[in-house]
């Protein structure tokens, strides 16, 4: 049986927003992989409403977090 490779969770900090109801500056968001969005300079995140949505990539800075923090954030989302 083949094992499914899982990608580690990725997170980003919002540094600006066009809609403060959906994104909060300085808040950490879960990033979902989306190569088509990346090519168009967008990023797919789980926003404040709990929905995955595309936002301009320049609204965020990707961050590397310690594994324990990533696990805790993944469980909380």
For residues 33 and 46, give the distance between their C-alpha atoms in angstroms, rounded to a whole number.
Answer: 11
Q: What is the pLDDT of residue 2?
A: 54
Q: Topology of domain 10-76, per CATH?
A: SH3 type barrels. (2.30.30)
Per-residue pLDDT of the chain (77 residues; tens, 9 = 90+): 555 556 777 999 999 998 888 999 999 999 999 999 999 999 999 999 999 999 999 999 999 988 888 888 878 76
Q: What is the pLDDT of residue 4?
A: 53
Contact 23, 13 (CB under 8 A): no
- Give pTM, 2 decimals: 0.82
């Amino acid at each position: 049986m083949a094992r499914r490779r899982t990608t580690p969770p990725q997170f980003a900090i919002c540094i600006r927003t066009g809609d403060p109801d959906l994104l909060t500056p300085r808040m950490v968001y879960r990033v979902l992989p989306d190569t088509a969005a990346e090519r168009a300079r967008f990023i797919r995140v789980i926003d404040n409403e709990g929905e995955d949505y595309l936002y301009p990539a320049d609204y965020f800075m990707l961050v590397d977090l310690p594994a324990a923090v990533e696990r805790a954030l993944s469980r909380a989302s």
